[in-house]
Amino acid sequence: MLKLEARPQPSKVMSIASPLLALAITVLIGVALFMMLGKDPLRGLQMFFVEPLKSGYALSELAVKATPLLLIALGLAVCFRSNVWNIGAEGQFILGALFSGWVAMQAGPETGRWIVIPILLAGVVGGMLWAGIVALLRDRFNANEILVSLMLVYVAEFVLGYLIYGPWKDPAGYNFPQTITFLAVTKIPRLFDGMRLNIGVLIAVASVAVFWVFLFRTYRGFQLQVGGLAPAAAKYAGFSSRAALWIALLISGGMAGLAGGLEAAGPLGQLTPYVPAGYGFAAIIVAYVGRLHPVGIVFSAILMSMFYIGGELAQSRLGLPKSLTGVFQGLLLFTLLACDTLIHYRVRWSSRAPSLSGSAAHLNAAALKTGKGA
């Protein structure tokens, strides 16, 4: 029989191999799903793992999808390492898009390209404001940040709906729920003609380096991580838990807001009901698959963006439901959680022969003696 045996110390090999094993299991389950749906599994896997890498344009679209996931996951990694559970990055993403969209709508014919900077800064402020509500309620009233941040996602969606159906609705938009199309001068500069790839990808790559330095080469980053791993030790060392809470949530909210600003003034070019694309929730998986490490998050963001693009291609070319993207995301998360068990435990074969307990053996011996006496 198989049994789990506790390891004397966590396995570094399994810590690295666990995401790869989880991905392999996800692929195998995906093959079974394609077969049950009556689709060619090889064709289905091609949609997810080949088509997104097939050409230069496909790679540019992959980077467009990966940019918000990477930015949000970097902020969440700081939160989770600090033992602060921000589950509402989607709401902070929406607020960042709203703040950036408002600034973009103030542009006129005489506005210069300099307005891109205020647009992005407004997105950061919007995300930080929304995350600051979570920090305030946790700090002053000891409210659970998981529930508060999650519920604020729905509040943000209602605010977005109110604005695009009401005060911000485009009067020349044929009654569609959308704002005016942002002027060209407010759009995030693109890197190549004919592609949607913009400077957001450069900001994301630079953020990876900044967050690596912050987490592993600064005293403040060290304080945050100690507070997350050993709160009692952090308190004994004089590290402020309140400061850690505010810093972690404001950084996380600011990064989500920045992603929202880049999305609104980049690929979208206006505000619509489709601003909430699920990036804030998917980024939680990205952060954990990347092991809460900036470099690991880069690879997991690329993988998750492949799921997004693969799901869209499977829907248009194979007639599969759009929800297949969420299925693959969920499978990856659950298989990762399962495989992570092997970091602290190892599987052992047990070939024990059945044996009687001490009391049962005595009873059996007594029965034998009684039988002989008779």
pLDDT single digits (tens) 288-335: 999 999 999 999 999 999 999 999 999 999 998 888 888 998 999 899
Identify residue 271 by its one-letter amino acid code: L
* Lowest mean pLDDT across 42-46, 200-204, 278-282, 349-353: 349-353
Residue 203: which residues within 8 A CB-CB, separation 6 or more? Answer: 67, 71, 258, 262
% of the chain with per-residue pLDDT over 90: 74
CA distances to 85, 98, 241 from 140, rounded to whole Å, are: 17, 27, 13
Q: How confident is the model at residue 234 (pLDDT cuts 50, 70, 90)?
A: confident
Are the C-beta atoms of 69 and 305 separated by less than 8 Å?
yes
Dihedral sign computed on CA atoms, order 88, 92, 94, 95: positive
- DSSP three-state, residue 148: helix
- For the chain, the domains span 65-279+290-299
Torsion, CA 204, CA 130, CA 65, CA 318, rounded to 10:
160
Residue 356 pLDDT exceeds 50: no
Which of 312, 313, 303, 358 shows the shortest CA–CA distance to 27?
Answer: 303
Q: Which two tokens stand for residue 287?
A: 């952060």
What pLDDT does residue 265 have? Answer: 95
Q: How far apart are CA 307 and CA 61, in angstroms?
A: 12
Q: How far apart are CA 101 and CA 169, in angstroms?
A: 12
Considering the chain, what is the average pLDDT of its residues?
90
* Lowest mean pLDDT across 93-102, 125-134, 204-213, 220-229: 220-229
- Classify residue 190 by its DSSP letter: B
What pLDDT does residue 352 have? Answer: 63
* Lowest mean pLDDT across 120-124, 202-206, 351-355: 351-355
Q: How far apart are CA 295 and CA 300, in angstroms?
A: 9
Q: How far apart are CA 165 and CA 171, in angstroms?
A: 11
Q: Which two tokens stand for residue 310?
A: 């693969």
State pTM to two decimals.
Answer: 0.90
Q: How confident is the model at residue 214 (pLDDT cuts 50, 70, 90)?
A: very high
Residue 58 pLDDT exceeds 90: yes
Q: How far apart are CA 290 and CA 298, in angstroms?
A: 7
Q: What is the pLDDT of residues 107-139, one digit of tens each?
A: 998 999 999 999 999 999 999 999 999 999 999
Task: Find where tokens 């009873």 sit.
Answer: 363
Residue 239 pLDDT exceeds 90: no
Bigger pLDDT: 37 vs 369: 37
What pLDDT does residue 70 have? Answer: 98
Bigger pLDDT: 360 vs 122: 122
Q: What is the CA radius of gyration of the chain?
A: 26
Q: What is the pLDDT of residues 138-173, one digit of tens each?
A: 999 999 999 999 999 999 999 999 999 999 999 998
Backbone torsions φ then ψ of 291, nearest 5 degrees: 60, 30
What pLDDT does residue 363 have? Answer: 45
Q: How far apart are CA 64 and CA 305, in angstroms?
A: 9
Q: How far apart are CA 298 and CA 284, in angstroms?
A: 13
